[in-house]
Amino acid sequence: MAFLAENKYGKSRVRLMKVRRLDDRHDVKEWNVQVLLEGDFERCFTVGDNSKILPTDTIKNTVYSLGRSSTATCMEQFAKELTAHFLEHNPQLTAASVEIEEKKWAHVVVNDKLQPTTFQQSGPESFTTQVTQKRGEGLQIQSGIRGLVILKTARSSFAGYIKDPLTTLKESHDRLFGTEAMAVWTYDRADLPFAALRADILRTLLCSFAKHESLSVQHTLYAMGQAVLEAAGAVKDVQLTMPNRHCLLVDLTPFGQDNPNMIFVPTDEPHGYIEAKVVRQA
């Protein structure tokens, strides 16, 4: 006999560009929003009773309508507003979750002068947040960075690993270290200066990556997570994913040339994949 164990539904990839028209400049936010709802929807699945279903098209329209009236200046605040709205107006819900990815836009600077209404998309990294609330409980807020492409050409090595009959990798004490990192951290409360904290955490990640004397990707990943916890007291854990972006040394001996760590071929497939969660001790 079958029974419905878990379920959720919602709307994904709701694209929203909002322009704030201030007196001296314009600001833009580009958000990609996903809303997921959980609740008393069993009869919809089992017998086709839609009487407790909020249409996903209505969810999409709610994102746009609330975007118009919202005074939120960061995606965490907007996600909190959306979560509260759906729980307040839909008593059949037991939980609501809002996930937002933000593409970064910066004002163009011409002749050292900021152009107040002209923008350039920066990146390739994007910012993320996920705000979840169960009815009657507090908010859980996780924010992060996705697609952070970073590279260092010194202070990186990899040696002392297991060598068996299938090992062909040579030890390196001076290698290029590249990765497309993703970081997700959990805040310990819901009322924080999220934009400023995110900027501080990004600076911390980059500083740690640059300065660390890396003995492996794992070694540097842990150092970066540890640095975030030391720098941001409002963060209780951080999960980092760091797949390799390999740069392989090219053999130039067939051409009668040496290669003193100068010429490489970039490749990202196949790649090593390293992931870990660093948690603040109680």
Q: Which residues are catalytic?
A: 11, 56, 246
Could you give the C-alpha distances from 68 to 78, 156, 199, 257, in angstroms and in order? 11, 48, 26, 63
Measure CA 58 to chain center: 27
Please tell me the distance from the alpha carbon of residue 133 to that of residue 84, in angstroms, as a whole number.
Answer: 8
Those residues whose C-beta lies under 8 Å from the C-beta of residue 196, and which sit 6 or more positions away, are none
Alpha helix segments (H runs only) across the chain: 42-47, 56-69, 75-89, 194-211, 217-231
HEC string of 206-225? Answer: HHHHHHCCECCHHHHHHHHH
> Following DSSP, what letter does each residue of 164-208 receive, concatenated?
-TT--PPPBSS--EEEEEEEEEEES-S-S-HHHHHHHHHHHHHHH
Rounded Cα distance, 147 and 102, in Å: 12
Q: Which residues pair with 110 in a beta bridge?
A: 113
